[in-house]
Amino acid sequence: SIFNNAEELHQAKLQHEDEEKSSEEESEETMFFCQHRFIKDSKMFQILKRPLTPLIDSSQSSSKRVPSFTISSPTKRRRVDPTKRTSVYAKACAKLQLSAVPDELPCREKQRDEIMNFLKHSIGSGGSGSGLYISGMPGTGKTATVHQVVRELHQLTEDGDLPSFDYVEINAMKLPNPYHAYSDLWRKLTGKHAAPTRACQLLGERFQKANSSRECCILLIDEMDFLLTQKQTVIYNLLDWPTRPHARLIVICIANTMDLPERLSLRVQSRLGLRRMVFSPYNQKELREIIHARLGNSIFEPKAIELCCRKVSNVSGDVRRALQISRRAAEIREEKNRPPKGSKARRTSRSSLSSSGQTKESRLVTMHDIEEAVFSLFDSPSIAFIRALRKYERVFLCCVVLQLRQLRLEEAPFEDIFDRFTTTCQSKGFQTITSRVARDIATGLEQIRLILFRYHDVDRNPSIRLNVQEDDICLGLDNDSICANLLDLNRAED
């Protein structure tokens, strides 16, 4: 009996030690897993996995063991500036970025001098009653030229050759609604926030009171046509404040619409004044000069640049399109010349044209690269719709473009477009189309959203405006000899 009791006590002691040992091992594993999981998920540290050793000897204490691990310092990732890459193509792409605006804009010297003289005279005279309206197609350098002039005026101020001034810019297209122009202007002048109605009141009081210590302010309103309201009160106030004796305010308005002043009420026109400036689209020669000014000794074949400039000048003269096409063509050429992954040539420096054993001619951007760039950038669904149009639909769309070009407006009456359409069909020997059929053609183009209708209260027939870029229309019709001739897509250099 005594022996049996002793044996049972020994068995129970062994079982208890095994359970305690198992509990300690399980605790160590759980603690390691939790700490490793936390560190791994935080993505802040790296953990060195190695066998855990207790910090406290089990023979000295029966408390739970604490695992030991090492934490390394976080590794910083090095960010590579695209402008500092060694590839000649990457350097060219960086120079062709829209944000890489040069200090001096080529081919806009005349406009720059006119704006400079206007602003210098206005600042010198205190700015009262000063206003300038600048219009032109998108991508013709309107805003960039004003920015260049303002930079030069700030330099004159630092040199002591011109009184100091404030500069405020409002982009109406970025405002929630036209009335927020008051809040935006008040915040940029004072650093304080105010609701549109309150801001309008505060601005009126500011420009009404005489304050000899207040500096003259140049206000640039970009995309001014987005400030149009039914009563035109926003535009009126912004143009009326400079006429007040103590306003010390100079306003420069920029818009793509050349006829915007004529669309304003007589009251607003009287405040706008007669100072106007038109930025014409760039021609082929000017686009080529702009690209050469950015690239210098470029990686482009001369014929490739000629092709790019000719395509853009024939369509819109938008320099942004030319830079976009050139940049994409450089990326295409870089992809073609990139050695296979893992090859020895890929691991060598690509800063030299001959680094991969290719000739200089094979590394230059070609005319074919330009064609691929145009296709990849502008092969949009709208272009596909345009290419699928039938003969009379294409001709009618061309007539819309030509009528808008002639009037320099954003929309034209259906009757005027129909008259041009009838004359064009007769000159090309096509069958005469009635007004009703032409209206059906226009309705079909409106249903696929290539054009838009706008009905007036007194007219039965609508005014028509384009719902796609003119560039897309020209690209979609460039393979049609009749339409290419109508739109003058094959004209020589200006």
Side-chain-facing half-sphere of 425: CA atoms under 13 Å: 20
pLDDT of residue 6: 54
Buried b / exposed e along 33-71 (16+ C-beta atoms within 10 A): eeeeeeeeeeeeeeeeeeebeeeeeeeeeeeebebeeee
Q: How far is CA 440 from CA 396, 397, 408, 433, 446, in A?
A: 11, 13, 25, 11, 10
Spell out a b/e string for 111-129, using b for 16 or more CB atoms within 10 Å of the CB, else e. bbebbbebbbebbeebbbb
pLDDT, tens only, 246-288: 899 999 999 988 778 888 888 888 888 768 999 999 999 999 9
Give the whole-angstrom CA distance, residue 417 versus residue 420. 5
CB atoms within 10 A of CB 376: 13
d(CA 440, CA 443): 5
DSSP annotation of 57 = -
Say what the pLDDT of residue 213 is: 85
- Using DSSP's 3-state secondary structure scheme, residue 195 falls into coil
Cα radius of gyration (the chain): 35
pLDDT for 221 equals 96
Residue 291: Cβ within 10 Å count: 22
Predicted local confidence at residue 143, as pLDDT: 94
User: Tokens representing 40?
Assistant: 């791994």
Low-confidence residues of the chain, pLDDT below 70? 1-86, 128-130, 274, 297, 340-362, 457-459, 489-494
CA dist., res. 123 & res. 111, Å (int) = 18
Cβ neighbours of residue 491 closer than 8 Å, sequence gap 6 or more:
314
Contact 234, 178 (CB under 8 A): yes
Q: Output phi, psi for 454, to 5 deg.
A: -135, 115
Residue 475 DSSP symbol: H
Query: Three-state DSSP class for 92?
Result: helix
Specify the 3-state DSSP secondary structure of 369: helix
pLDDT of residue 67: 45
CA separation (Å) from 285 to 92, 140, 305, 306? 20, 14, 11, 9
How many C-beta atoms surround the C-beta of residue 305 within 10 A? 22
Angle, helix 319-337 to helix 367-378, in steps of 10 degrees: 110
Closest CA to 111 of 319, 276, 288, 221: 276
Please give the pLDDT value at position 261.
Answer: 85
pLDDT, position 120: 93
